[in-house]
Structure 1
Amino acid sequence: MKDIYQIAVVPGDGIGPEVAAAAVRCLDALFGPAGPLVLREHPAGAELYRRSGESFPAATYAACRDADAILHGAAGLPGIVHPDGTEAGLDFTLRLRFELDLFANIRPIRLYPGVRSPLAEVAPGGIDYVIVRENSEGLYAARGAGAQLRGELAVDTLVQTRKGVERIVRQAFELARSSRGAPADGVRRVTCVDKANVLRSYAFFRAVFDEVAAEYPEIEAEHGLIDAMAMYLVTRPGHYNVIVTENMFGDILSDLAAATIGGLGLAPSAEIGVTQGLFQASHGSAPDIAGKGIANPYGTLLSAAAMLDWLATRHADARLGAGARRLRQAVEAAIAEGVLGRDLGGRYGSAEITEAVCARLG
């Protein structure tokens, strides 16, 4: 347990500053002026690149590396790219993932009371699972390392290592072990999503999954092909408890899954390694609504709660664990009482949602 925790806050681009400010406001309301968190803001992102030619300053990287945790708003803006065509704003998250070895991207998918799913006849509680996305290998490991030849050929390599697959699969089984099981039947299960019927890299992922699954006989283990999963998450979401998959597949599936619970505005994420964690909502920078005061901050608030949970476990700090529960309960209460943004069919703006959560924090 520590007396003080240093939190690097990187607002980023688009709606990022708005949702990051909402999280800081709620954390201040949660703990008060004498609380255990010191939140310091640092610049990074596409807008910074547009102004200065630098998207991720060395000072910001050092602050993130040395902080106890990182809280991020959002990154990227249309048309602001590096000479190779890749988005400037994504440098922040991708570099941290690889250089700080944030190998596990944990994305809870839950349908909250007060939110109507676009899926017919699915009630709150009927969708409650976690997507565990391998975060440091897979196809995205090729970023900056692929080959382009004469404007005629481009190649990116998908990378899977035994260490990488073992640790992400073990993370998934540990989450399942501590869970309540799938909503439909209460069974604790882990679903491995791959394309093992076509590609050797995914057959390898599945083989390693099966080896690790044997260490958890009390947890049900199953396989699913990525194309079939795109259907099953819509047709039978209540069957799933924990899903584990490769980097790109996890990125795609989590967006699809978020649509079933009302949208990305309700989708938090925790990107964690052995010693560091990055916490942000799963949504993008949404530049079309930036500055209008209508961004939904719930995903970032839930990500802040995940940050407190992670710090509480890592440092055996009951204060932070209790804070995480209070913040999550305040968010859930506000949602249940109809304090919803326009993306969820409501009428509330960012500031109103933030103040509603703060009020429920007492």
Structure 2
Amino acid sequence: MANYKIGVLNGDGIGQEITKATVEVVKAATKLVGSTQFEFIQLPMGWEAIEKYGEPMPQIVKDTLAETHGWILGPHDSSSYPKEHKLKRNPSGELRHYFDLYANVRPAKTITGINGVVKEADLVIFRENTEGYYPDRNMFVGEGEWKITPDVVISAGVFTRKAIERIAHSAFQMAEKRRKKVTIVHKANVIKLGSGLFLDVCREVAQNYPDVKIDDYHIDAMTAHLVRRAKDFDVIVTENMFGDILSDLAGELVGSLGLAPSINNNENMAMAQAAHGSAPDIAGKNIANPMGIMLSTVMLLDWLSSRHEEPRLSEISHMVESGILNVINDGIKTKDLGGSASTTEFTEAIIERIQLKDRFER
């Protein structure tokens, strides 16, 4: 029997509810597959970790995560942390930086039963995760920002061939498995050196994938194209800040940012993380929608399946995803989607669909 250690960091706000729901549906699917077992390791993060260790992302947690096969990261409410912690990287940024999780992979796909702004979208955004214009990640030491006078601030954007090459390869490898098209998003017409390097290196990497078509757009034009013709795009690759903006837009276009999944990964480890925040205003009310973190975990299971060449993991991920989509198609939805199901009821409905599939097949 294959055994996998999965870290579970509930986080803040609705994190306790949605990560618990996610673990429950994965366990339900795992029981039906057999020959695979997960050890879910509960670890503190955010306020829970501050109260226990004095840090929102303590070293002991990172050391434990290093011994897992991957982990599920709930949302954090870093804006509410004590002042001394606001000066540091937030928990998700710290994990991305510490483990060099350079690829943030964010799909956006039309879902039957969800009333999105656009129709027929099926795209994946590859966001470079370690440098660019995000100062908490682009320096070996230091923040990457300088306050010259009370009225003057300089923020540095960092672009390196190494980082661009590896995110580009990840994007093109995904495109080979999909519709064989990559769109490079940049601002090389104005940021000639930094964004220009990103564009040039992506084009160089493209030569290794002759079956994949490429095009490119400036970030401002790309936002308009995404709204007008999202269905035309397959794989999009871009730098950190542009990727953050585009993926949030894409998530809203297909239904809601609250549904948007993602994983952060390198070659050897991956972290499932929904794109949404901790929603402290609805925490503890049993009305949060767990779809984002559930679909992120589906992505994690697929990544683990590929990484460890274990098809049973892909089977589990497929069962979870199918359960979610079937429940939505049945009209069972949480309040944010116009339904009346609680978090618990939504989760139980997914588990019932998973078990129903098993009864039907047997």
Distance of aligned partners of 1:255 and 1:168 in 2 relative to their CA distance in 1, 3 Å threshold: same
Q: Are 1:139 and 2:140 counterparts?
A: no
SS in 1 for 2:267: coil
Q: How far apart, CA to CA, are the structure 1 residues paired with 2:83 and 2:269?
A: 27
Q: CA deviation at 1:146?
A: 2.2
Identify which of 240, 250, 267 aligns with 2:233: 240
Which residue of 185, 190, 199 corresponds with 1:198? 190
Q: Does 1:272 align with 2:273?
A: no
Residue 262 of structure 2 aligns to a residue in which SS?
strand
* Offset of residue 61 of structure 1: 1.0
Which stretches in structure 2 are left out of the alignment for 5+ residues?
356-362
Distance 2:175 2:114 in 1: 25
Q: Is 1:24 aligned to 2:17, yes or no?
A: no
Greater mean deviation of Cα atoms: 71-80 or 144-153: 144-153
Counterparts of 1:1-362 in structure 2, within 5 Å, are 3-32=2-31, 35-46=36-47, 48-49=49-50, 53-83=54-84, 85-86=86-87, 91-119=90-118, 122=119, 126-140=120-134, 141-142=137-138, 144-179=143-178, 181=179, 188-199=180-191, 200-362=193-355
Shift of 1:224: 0.8
More helix by share: 2
Report the AA paired with residue 351 of structure 1. Answer: T
**Cα pair 2:79 2:86 within 8 Å, conserved:** no
- Following superposition, the deviation at residue 285 of structure 1 comes to 0.8
Runs (4 or more) in structure 1 with deviation over 6 Å come to none
Aligned residues: 347
CA positional deviation for 1:23: 0.7
Instruction: State percent identity of aligned pairs.
Output: 37
**Does the residue aligned with 1:262 lie in a helix, a strand or coil?**
coil
CA distance in 1 between counterparts of 2:343 and 2:315 reads: 25
Within 2, Cα distance between the matches of 1:230 and 1:237? Answer: 10
5+ long unaligned stretches in structure 1: 182-187
Q: TM-score, normalised by structure 2?
A: 0.91
Q: Displacement, 1:48?
A: 3.8
Alpha-carbon distance in structure 2 between the residues aligned to 1:79 and 1:9: 22
In terms of mean alpha carbon deviation, does 205-214 or 147-156 score higher? 147-156
Q: Is the 8 A contact 1:138 1:247 kept in 2?
A: yes
| Other structure's SS at 1:249 match | helix
CA distance in structure 2 between the partners assigned to 1:191 and 1:48 by the alignment: 40
Checking the alignment, whether the CA contact within 8 Å between 1:77 and 1:287 is kept in structure 2 is no
TM-aligned CA deviation for residue 69 of structure 1? 0.3
Cα separation, 1, equivalents of 2:8 and 2:125: 25
